[in-house]
Each structure stands twice: as structure tokens, then as C-alpha cells.
Amino acid sequence: MADKPAHQQCINVRCQATFDIAEALVACPTCDSLLDVKYDWDKVHLPKTLSDFNKRWARRDRMLDFSGVWRFRELLDFCDDRYKVSQGEGQTLLQRCDGVGQYVGLKQGGLFLQYEGLNPSGSFKDNGMTAAFSHASMIGAKRVCCASTGNTSASLARYASAAGMEAIVFVGSGRIAFGKLAQALDYGARTFQIAGDFDDCMARVKEATAALGLYLVNSVNPFRLEGQKAIMLRVLEGLGWDVPDWIVVPGGNLGNSSSFGKMFGELKELGLIPRIPRLAVINSSGAPTLDRLVNEKKLTYNGGEFDRQVIVDDFKWQDDTNTKPHTIASAIEISKPVNTTKCLRALEICDGVVRQVPDFEIMDAKAQVGRHGLGCEPASAASVAGARLLVEQGVIDRDARVVCILTGHPLKDPNASVGYHTGQYDPDHQVEGERLYANMPIPVANDLDKIVEAIETKA
């Protein structure tokens, strides 16, 4: 493993301590900042152009060429092939969607949806999990763990059962959608329902990791974020290796946005793309920490010389005032995102913006995504609602080419969908608003005439 041209490095510009790739670290031991995986690009066998990767399509009988992550393996070259754990992740599509584009306010051909719900466990997490598990297997880890709003635990559970490792997951009691809980249980993960929310689970799982020497696969794991870079490669591939104008992504723990920024920074540095797209990170109004930090408190990365105290004070204010996140988009019900600093860096690299959207707009946008044939879970639709807001605000041009990331499959959270269409949300997840695209089920007697009459009667 030592012959791989990669190492870990502290992202704090005043520290920059380096560590071997064989170490399992989730923070810099010196200054507690996040870590990056860095490459010695001169030693990597890079393609001359990104389109060289297309050749791998002809060799899809080989697992690593089939994987939508590992077929770009030179751009995340930290692990020997023999350790790689793949589940055929990343068979996901970038789809042009004019119907949703019209809803967002873009011209024909302007909106693309990157449907990550097609992954093996039904969310984008599998992109990161294959990378984290490959690292775990490379260093001989036996017990893997995470805190989760649901999708990370489902993905971890699936990869752990495939890799023969013990899976330990922490979820907030009553805080995750049943589709996701069902997966974690089915795949055999030991699932601990902590009496608290995601942020509590995250804090406890870090402590448990340290206490028990577990292998943590949350997005503080720098190897996981390397896998998620592949989502952007597939977006570029879907556009014939052209760069879109905007990438719009929901923001929860901020792993995706961080990893997208890193990927675009690297591709530009390597001369593999001519320009970097702009990035929009969308919070739910029920968990708007990033929006508050960036838009109210004007926090910027400032080349790494940012004011850390602003984040510390915000998190403390949340504790002091007992301010808790609450949103129907349970996947992004997170108010102390662990990747805040990396996300600030991504916003700087990509000239990014942050917005928040209310739950009723998220649910309307979700219904639009469903109505136009794709479907997604609530958190994913924040990207579409956010793009719509940004077009309305004139930040995104009407003739721009925009990619929204649909992070999770619609069946992850059927309660939210049925709640929207019937108006009967779960008691803990009521959403105010008109439900503009509700498609109510129609009760009919068990009688052909009545059924015919009902079918012929248009509302």
C-alpha cells in the first residue's frame, strides 16, 4: 500500500501536517481540523483527456471498470485494486428533464437531473462507501460504524455485509425514514437508536470510534469523499465532458459539496477541464446552519484564513438556545455539519452560493420530480427547489445549463410522499402549504359502473 502516490493532509493552512494513507484518521491529531487525501499527480497514470475514460465502457465485464466510481480510479488513486470493495455502484444517469426545467424556470434543454437514487442502496452514499470500505479493507479494519440520518447507515450496512465486516450504526430515535431503517436492519447492521438527533449521534459515534478503535465511515473520513468525486465525473461524462454552468446540491453534513469542490479544483489544476462550474448548496429552512453562516454571518473561506470562531459561536448558540433542526427532509436534518470548513473551501473554489428553502417548496419540487418520471426523496428535492429560487432571484440565468443532484430514491421515504398527496403527514412531520401538485387517491365502490364513471370523471 505504501507505493500508492497518495497521503493524507490536514486542511488547516497553518498546520498542513501529513499522514500516511494507511492511517485511519477522521481529524488531524495536532489541530483537530479535517483531512484531505492528496496525490502526487506526477506519479499517477492520468488520462490525457477525460474522454479517455470512455474506453472503460467496453470492459464492463470487469468489476472495477463497471463501477461508476472505480472506472475513474486514476483520480482517486489511494488503494491497490486487490483491496477494492465494489457493489457495482454509480450506474446512475444524468437525465435532461424539460418538465422540471420549466418548473425551475429554465429554458428548454437547460435542466439536468443526476439521479443518484439508482445506486445499489438507493442513494449517492454508495459512491463514498465503496471508497471508504476499500480503505478499511486495505488497512484491515474489522468493525465499521457511522452516525446517520438513514442513507449512510443503509449504505454502510450493505457494504459491510458484502465485505464481511461488523456494522455498527447510530441513528436518532424516530428520526429516520422507514425505507432506510429497514435497509440497515435487513442488511444486518447492529442499529443503535440513540435518544437524540443526528448531531448527537455524530458526537457520540466519534467518541465510540476513539474508545473502541472502530472504523468511522461518516464524511469526516477523507477517503469516503474521494469516492463521491465520481458523481461529478459522471455528470461531466453525461454532458459529453462539457462543464455545466451550475451544480445544485442539497446540504446536510456537507460531504457532497465538499467533495465536488475538491474534484473541480483538482480537474482544473490538472488541466482536464477548462473552467469550474458554480456550486449552489441548498439547506432546508428547518436546518439552515450553512445559510446562516454564509449569508447572515458573511463567513467565507478566505483562502483558509477564515474566522473559525464564527462556527464555534454558532454551534454554541444552538446549544444555549436549544435550537434544534426540524424538517420533513429528514436526511438533511442536521444543524452542526461536520464538513463546514471543507464546504466553505468548495464555495470558494466554485464561486458558490447557499440558500435555504421551506419544506412545502421541497415537497412541491419533489412532486414535480416524480411527475416527470424520476422521483426522489424529500432532501434531494431541495436541489430543485433551490434552483427554482435562484432562477427567480436572477442568480441563475434562465438560459443556464444547470445540474441538480437527486441524492436519494423516492422509496426511501414513502410516508413523506403519501403525506403530501393525501394531506395526512405523520404527526411529527407536518408540512404547512397548499400541496400544489397533490395527486389524491380516489375512493370508489367495488362496482364496475361506478369505476367507469370515476375514470371518465376528470377533476
Which residue ranges make up the site for ligand F0G (CB under 6 A)? 123, 148-152, 219, 250-256, 331-332, 377, 379-380, 407-408
The whole-angstrom separation of Cα 219 and Cα 308 is: 20
Minimum CB distance to ligand F0G, residue 2 (Å):
30
Cα separation, 26 vs 157, whole angstroms:
20
- Cβ proximity to ligand F0G: between 255 and 352 the closer is 255
Q: How far is the CB of 288 from ligand F0G (least distance, A)?
A: 13
For residue 76, the minimal CB distance to ligand F0G (Å) is 17
With cell 438507493, the residue in question is: 122
Rounded to whole angstroms, the Cα distance separating 97 from 406 reads 12
Q: Which DSSP category does 53 fall into? A: G
Please say which residue, 26 or 379, places its beta carbon nearer to ligand F0G.
379
Question: By the 8 A CB rule, do 95 and 402 touch?
Answer: no
Instruction: State how beta strands 166-172 and 190-194 pair.
Output: parallel
* Alpha helices per DSSP H over 164-282: 178-186, 198-212, 222-238, 255-269
For the bound state, the minimum distance from the C-beta of residue 251 to ligand F0G, rounded and expressed in Å, comes to 5
Which CB atom, from 50 or from 347, has the smaller least distance to ligand F0G? 347
Using the minimum distance from each CB to ligand F0G, give the nearer residue, 86 or 407. Answer: 407
In the chain, the N- to C-terminal Cα span, in Å, equals: 65
Could you give the angle at which helices 151-163 and 125-138 cross, rounded to 10 degrees?
40
Least distance from ligand F0G to the Cβ atom of residue 42, Å = 31
DSSP H or E stretch at residue 124? none
For ligand F0G, the closer CB: 244 or 408: 408
Question: CA 355 to CA 340: how far, in whole Å?
Answer: 15
Instruction: Provide the minimum distance between the beta carbon of 204 and ligand F0G in the complex, in angstroms, as a whole number.
Output: 14
Q: Which residue, 50 or 377, has its beta carbon nearer to ligand F0G?
A: 377
Q: How far is the CB of 432 from ligand F0G (least distance, A)?
A: 22
CB-wise, 86 or 339, nearer to ligand F0G? 339
C-beta of 252 vs 286, nearer to ligand F0G = 252
Q: Any idea what DSSP says for residue 226?
A: H
Kindly state the smallest distance separating residue 217's Cβ from ligand F0G, in Å: 10
Taking the C-alpha atoms of residue 328 and residue 248, their distance in angstroms, rounded to an integer, is 19
* Closest C-alpha among 105, 43, 50, 34 to residue 365: 105
Half-sphere exposure of 38 (CA within 13 A, CB side): 14
Cell numbers at residue 324, please? 434544534
Tell the smallest beta-carbon distance from residue 457 to ligand F0G (Å).
38
Nearest CB to ligand F0G, comparing residues 73 and 412: 412
Give the span between the Cα atoms of 111 and 247, in whole angstroms: 10
Identify the bridge partners of residue 273 per DSSP, sorted by sequence position.
none
By three-state DSSP, how is residue 84 classified?
Answer: coil
